[in-house]
Amino acid sequence: MFSVIFGALFASTLITTPAFANEEDAKLVAVRVLDTMGNPIPNAWVRLPETEGRRMVDEFGKWQAKSLYELDGNELFFLRGMTLDFTISAPGYTSRSVAYEVQKRRNLITVSLQPMTHKILEEGEDNDLMIRWFQRTYVEEEE
């Protein structure tokens, strides 16, 4: 009797596992990357920490998906109410971190990247070139 009840509880747990519901409930999330003039940045990429790699935007500066793969290989579905912490980067621009809560529909995040400022090094400063480079490549937090 105990094994029948335990087996029924175990089976019902498998059926209601979020992995089965997540795929059909997944929401399409899009990120559009623009420069300060409103032009797309086609060589930008989008990264979600704890997932595999970074994703390149298309020629219109847009990337979209309903899911990504986590480092352990599990698929992470974008579900309504979930907060996604994206890092958006492009060569020559200051990276930005953006937190976004997934909505029921129309999940379009538009991110404007600022060009990096370049400083001409004075004589003798070349020894600290790498330190200065790391200081200039900080991640700006979304307000």
pLDDT tens for each residue of the chain, 143 residues long: 444 444 444 443 333 334 444 688 999 999 999 999 999 999 999 999 889 889 999 999 999 999 999 999 999 999 999 999 999 999 999 999 999 999 999 999 999 999 988 766 566 555 566 666 666 655 555 55
| Domain map (residue ranges) of the chain | 26-141
CATH annotation of 26-141: 2.60.40.1120
Pairing of strands 29-34, 62-65: antiparallel
Tell me the β-bridge partners of 44.
none
Residue 81: φ, ψ to 5°: 90, -15
Rounded to the nearest angstrom, the gap between the alpha carbon of residue 14 and the centroid of all alpha carbons in its chain is 30
